[in-house]
Amino acid sequence: MHRFLLKLSSSSTNPLRNSKFQRLILPSLNLFASGSPPPPSANPYSADSFRKSRAFSSKSRALGVRCISSEAGREAIEYDVVIIGAGPAGLSAAIRLKQLCQEKNTDLSVCVVEKGAEVGGHVISGNVFEPLALDELLPHWRQEQAPIEVAASSDKFWFLTKDRAIPLPSPFDNKGNYIISLSQLVRWLGGKAEELGIEIYPGFSASEVLYNASDEVVGIATKDMGISKDGSKKETFQPGVDIKGRVTLFAEGCRGSLSEKIIKKYKLREEVNAQHQTYALGIKEVWEIDESKHNPGEVIHALGWPLDPKTYGGSFLYHMNDRQVALGLVVALNYKNPFLNPYEEFQKLKHHPAIKRILEGGTVLQYGARTLNEGGFQSIPYPVFPGGAIIGCSAGFLNVPKIKGTHTAMKSGMLAAEAAFGALHEGSNMNTYWDSLRGSWVWKELYAARNYRPAFEYGLIPGLAVSAMEHYVLKGKVPFTLKHGKADHEATDLARKCKPIEYPKPDGVLSFDVPTSLYRSNTNHDHDQPSHLRLKDPKIPEKVNLPEYGAPESRYCPARVYEYVEDEEGKPKLQINAQNCLHCKACDIKDPKQNIEWTVPEGGGGPAYSVM
């Protein structure tokens, strides 16, 4: 990061050091300050653009300069608010903070750190978008060229058998919603944030939480760059940077690595007697199909095949614009059979007659996967800790029966921003975030939907019956709250209790092997770096996972990161292909012994989604 930071002299006569606002303005705000528009292909939020930029316009000084200190060879930058993650929640929080500054005629410095090489590059979702939070945040988005164009025009709900799609009454009401690419919407939000003077650092991984002597969070440290696999420093080595904030907001998405540490350290679930979080793995492709089969705005959801009746999950097919459709399968990670392979189940789905007829003759544009929270109301932790708060999917605000979480994530970011502004400018504290959250429509929505997901612990048919009663008759007003079952990793049965599953070979037309799909995700990591996937005990894979659970890590990963190969003695040994990682976090969740720890790789690595 130091390559593109303006280094300040230690001289007391330096006029920048004595600036009123003590702010450092980065090239992110003046990439094209000369007056020339960016080239059409340039992305103003890419790490490469920041690194290559050096020039400052004369306007920079008017905006103020922040000091940079240096401790033990690491640079440190101070902000009022530091936000980890440039997704819907993080950017909504940043934008709301700057809006409040404008309303109150004050100024707070806001920084957003994003591990993806570009804003939106790591963002993937269904996505039938409910614009409620966006209406509140940016009421004029319809007039500002937001990438929200295709209104949902119809809802279909199918129960799939192997050969049939049986229509059922649709429990969904998507009137007023839109079929979008969330990665594109996030890029647009990034532009809105930049217009407000928010500093965005793409391509830098937040690898460590910083604490003060009172055990309060005071920011994050970015990961060192240029470390080889053997731990030695390469010629390109750059130390990480300490980015400190008076308030730190974690918006890392589902199963955020630092967010999880914060939740455990401060016992935030125990604070409000929240249950453990439950998860699902979503696998998605975007196809370009024949125009005669394309029906923009059509929304299809399905239950049943190819999943067995004991495994919760479902599929979706959304007709986007430009002859594109989004196809996906969501598999709850509390499935029991260790031989189940979510990636292969998704390949099977595409051969269902009702799906096949739509895809035939089409082309896959992009592939990706990501875990999502399904714990809902019961699993929300206390989101405030000393020094900041957890927002968005890092806390877990997905509405399972709606299959929507973007609007609730955005609203949580906005509420946290209001609490942070009050704490920094008006003398209140961050606990007002919790109070505001409980008084918001997010809380009411999730409370009404709280019994839907745990009802399926009893199987598909009982789950459908209970959820239908909840949705159509009781409308979330029952006087009890169902509990979740076992944690996802504990739900996995021993291999000897389960039947192996044989999957058909891909045909290369509708179904594909993993390397082909990975290529379509644009995933890339520097191969010469320490693995970001760490085994707490390197002996467990060969001594426990393989003999007792049938090597489940070789199946639940949708990117073939984990595979067993023969060592020099001909014995099976786990090989970790970390360069394949899609950052889905399934391994961190589903490993039976919780032996795999997902940590951030060097900044800029991972998938590069553009239409997901």
Q: Using CA atoms, how far apart are residues 381 and 383, in angstroms rounded to an integer? A: 6
Peptide bond into 273 cis (omega under 30): no
C-alpha distances (whole Å) from 287 to each of 350, 358, 508, 558 are 11, 10, 14, 18
Catalytic: 67? no
Query: Active-site residue among 246, 370, 450, 453?
Result: 370
Distance, CA of 6 to CA of 55 (rounded, Å): 10
Residue 370 annotated in active site:
yes
Q: Is 225 exposed, middle or buried (0-12, 13-18, 19+ CB in 10 A)?
A: buried
Handedness of CA 86, 90, 94, 99 (dihedral sign): positive
Q: Is the peptide bond before 239 cis (omega within 30 degrees of 0)?
A: no
**Residue of 101, 111, 393, 584 with catalytic role:** 584
Question: 3-state SS of 122-155?
Answer: CCCCCCEECCHHHHHHCCCHHHCCCCCCEECCEE
| Residue 520 neighbours by CB distance under 10 Å | 16
Told to judge if 406 belongs to the known catalytic residues of this protein, a careful annotator would answer yes
Marked catalytic residue, from 101, 254, 393, 557: 557
For the question of residue 61 being annotated catalytic, the response is no
Separation in Å, CA 102 to CA 134, 363, 371, 390: 19, 47, 37, 24
Place of tokens 């020039």: 55
- Written as six digits, the tokens of 597 are 């720890």
Is 587 annotated as catalytic?
A: yes
The 3-state DSSP class for residue 567 equals: coil
Residue of 406, 432, 523, 554 marked active site: 406
Catalytic residue among 111, 254, 393, 587: 587
Helix (H, G, I), strand (E, B) or coil at 332: strand
Find the distance separating the first CA and the last CA of the chain, reported in whole Å.
28
**Among 125, 205, 257, 436, which one carries the catalytic annotation?**
125
Q: List beta partners, residue 390.
A: 250
Any catalytic annotation for residue 125?
yes
Provide the annotated active-site residues.
125, 370, 406, 557, 581, 584, 587
